[in-house]
Amino acid sequence: MDPKERSSDKAAQEMIKRMAEAGIANAWDRLEAQSPQCGFGKLGVCCRICAMGPCRIDPFGEGPQVGVCGADVDTIVARNFLRAIAAGVSAHSDHGRTVAEVFLATANGEAKDYQIKDTIKLHKLALELGVEIKDRSANEIAVDVGKIALAEFGKSEGTQLMARRAPAPRQEIWKKLGITPRAVDREVTESLHRSTMGVDQDYKNILTHASRVALADGWGGAMLATELQDVLFGTPYPGRGEVNMGVLKEDQVNIIVHGHEPILSEMIAAASQDAEMLAEAKKVGAKGINVAGTCCTANELLMRHGIPIAGNFLNQELVISTGAIELMAVDVQCVMQGLTTVANCYHTKLVTTADKAKMPGIEHVSMEETAALDTAKELVKTAIGNYKNRGEVYIPEEKESAVGGFSFECINYMLGGRFRASFRPLNDNIINGRIRGVAGIVGCTNPKVPQDLTHTTLTRELIKRDVLVLTTGCATIACGKLGLTNPAKALELAGPGLREVCETVGMPPVLTCGSCVDNTRLLVSCSEIVREGGLGEDISEVPVAGACLESVSEKAFAIGQYFVASGLLVVFAKEIMPILGSENVSNYLFDGIEKDVGGRWAVESDPVKAADMILEHIEAKRDALGINVEKERKLYDMADRRALSIE
């Protein structure tokens, strides 16, 4: 296949071609080998939950319409969807739990290489969680915060504390439906229980729990991950970085950190700057040590340290094929097993670091928080020692300047200034129509569509039409590679209203908000828009939507469902939505659910049409708010002025 049909990223195209010439397979080749993929699986109509199966429903109505146990297509599709969401929730939330454990160990003085970096955010979080801050040290406060946070994952009573951040009417909706999320573990366990053979057989009841478990992530585990990471590693503020494979350096030791948890990457970044390490690198003839990231770990590092990003999900194998990577350290999530084969074709040393994620035949170095920096130094030394083993190196030239670091706090500050940090200017400009609304563009890159193309096309279409775009995950990296997170370039593409506002407040039209867990920054921002006033009482009234047209991971379904259950429209690509085998489930998620939670799913694979869909939704919300009405210009005479009441 022509590399251009596989990726819209020029650097990726070059490396795909070179890998093909070298006879080394990557994800696109493996997809081709798998094609045609199972039609039953795509529709979500196969079930292998019990040993009477596997069963499958004939989508043409000619074969069996129920499984051996009698489960119909609605039950099977809904159960599969719930299980995918629960798996996604468990991934993000387990990430959150790991961060909470390291956070607590840091506060207790057991993890000496980490420090509480953002005490202002710590104090805010402490007050929110009811922790006393007066006359107490940061570590004392953090111990209490850490204990409360850790309990959120497994407490036996009560609901998620972070869910109190949602506007009151939203919390009422959840309460009425009985979906206010409890402990993460409980919601995940109940998801698995309900979807086992012979339990929940009412597709709507199953999907209602899908909302509850997803909310436990969005307003629980993932939100805590973001909050605690900010306190521990620093709340991100805008800084410049570079994106794409051109960030690799031919004359330096290159280390790639790949995965999700900044626990590892923060330490490798620190170790690479250590004078002793740099001296070691010089001894082997390298000019320095270059750390770059792939996937969400990359976003975390760019956001906090301006460390370059080598690529997103589909770039992970391609970066190794440059021959320039001495070491790739991986932790959890989105690490393809195919990396082993690719790394074996080059000198690259692949190392796993999370005890819960090992790879056969690959060296494992356990990342203990009590000896984090020493472990990171060992890894850096391994990379330095491997420099001499390099063979042929080919690094594509492509790289783009990017600005990352738009945390909620930063957006608040940029809009309102230091002494009156506020979303008011954003609300005002949505109300006056300069900005039509806000869209979150999130998620992965899937070899089923040309890499990056849907994210970047959708982003361009939306900013052109005066929609402010917030991005996370691999979508952010896709935008970064095309220069869309470079304010100077992106402003050129923005519509006149959005451009005027962005230039006034000094903010780009595409805001890079971080990794996948940082989608919770979007929820917090939506709540703040409501709190600021003038755009309705609930998130479902605000002209906001989310989209992920290249999703890969089950985590994307979890994010989608918590956006929907928070009141938003979420657009996914049709081919990637495994619910279409059931008309009832599809009708409910695309339509009926809106009456219950105020948000809904939609499918559209064409990014331009997806932009149309999002704009239509935004304009409908604006109409409902009454802010699309042209205000009559009125000249006040003295009598009018006297009649004005000032309260």
Instruction: Please give the torsion angle defined by the CA atoms of residues 575, 581, 586 and 588, in that order, rounded to the nearest 10 degrees.
Output: -150
Residue 414 CB, nearest approach to ligand MSK (Å) = 25
Residue 75 CB, nearest approach to ligand SF4 (Å) = 8
Binding ligand SF4 (rule: CB under 6 A), the pick from 69, 151, 365, 421 is: 69
CA dihedral sign of residues 123, 542, 471, 506: negative
Euclidean distance between CA atoms 352 and 330, whole angstroms = 5
Binding ligand MSK (rule: CB under 6 A), the pick from 263, 479, 484, 516 is: 516
Q: What number of chain residues touch ligand SF4 (CB under 6 A)?
A: 14
Burial class (CB in 10 A: 0-12, 13-18, 19+), 171: middle
Residue 140 CB, nearest approach to ligand MSK (Å) = 34
Residues 300-359 close enough to bind ligand MSK by CB under 6 A? 312-313, 333-334
Select 49 or 78, whichever has its Cβ closest to ligand SF4. Answer: 49
- Helix 519-532 / helix 222-233 crossing angle, nearest 10 deg: 90
Phi and psi at 485, nearest 5°, equal: -105, 10
Select 68 or 505, whichever has its Cβ closest to ligand SF4. Answer: 68
For the chain, the first-to-last Cα distance in angstroms comes to 69
Closest CA to 249 of 287, 219, 214: 287
CA angle, residues 483, 558, 604, in degrees to nearest 5: 60
Binding ligand SF4 (rule: CB under 6 A), the pick from 31, 151, 192, 197 is: 197
Three-class SS state of 256: strand
Select 487 or 581, whichever has its Cβ closest to ligand SF4. Answer: 581
Residue 524, interface with ligand SF4 (CB under 6 A)?
Answer: no
What does 54 interact with, of ligand MSK, ligand SF4, none (CB < 5 to 8 A by kind)?
Answer: ligand SF4
Euclidean distance between CA atoms 83 and 553, whole angstroms = 13
Closest CA to 178 of 201, 148, 212, 149: 212
Select 49 or 327, whichever has its Cβ closest to ligand SF4. Answer: 49
Closest CA to 41 of 53, 55, 62: 55
Residue 66 CB, nearest approach to ligand SF4 (Å) = 8
Whose tokens are 């709190």? That residue is 531
Closest CA to 7 of 607, 472, 339, 449: 449
What does 68 interact with, of ligand MSK, ligand SF4, none (CB < 5 to 8 A by kind)?
Answer: ligand SF4
In this chain, which stretch among 228-236, 243-251, 270-278, 548-556 interacts with ligand MSK, using CB under 6 A?
548-556
Select 80 or 322, whichever has its Cβ closest to ligand SF4. Answer: 80
Q: What is the DSSP track for 332-355? A: SSS--THHHHHHHTSSPEEEE--T
What does 296 interact with, of ligand MSK, ligand SF4, none (CB < 5 to 8 A by kind)?
Answer: ligand MSK
Binding ligand SF4 (rule: CB under 6 A), the pick from 15, 19, 43, 47 is: 47
Binding ligand MSK (rule: CB under 6 A), the pick from 67, 473, 483, 598 is: 473
Binding ligand MSK (rule: CB under 6 A), the pick from 10, 209, 555, 600 is: 555
Binding ligand MSK (rule: CB under 6 A), the pick from 296, 470, 564, 571 is: 296
Binding ligand SF4 (rule: CB under 6 A), the pick from 4, 48, 287, 609 is: 48
Residues 438-467 close enough to bind ligand MSK by CB under 6 A? 443-444
CA dihedral sign of residues 290, 295, 299, 301: negative
Binding site for ligand MSK (CB under 6 A): 295-296, 312-313, 333-334, 443-444, 473-474, 515-516, 552-553, 555
Write out the residues near ligand SF4 by the rule CB under 6 A: 47-50, 52-55, 67-69, 71, 76, 197
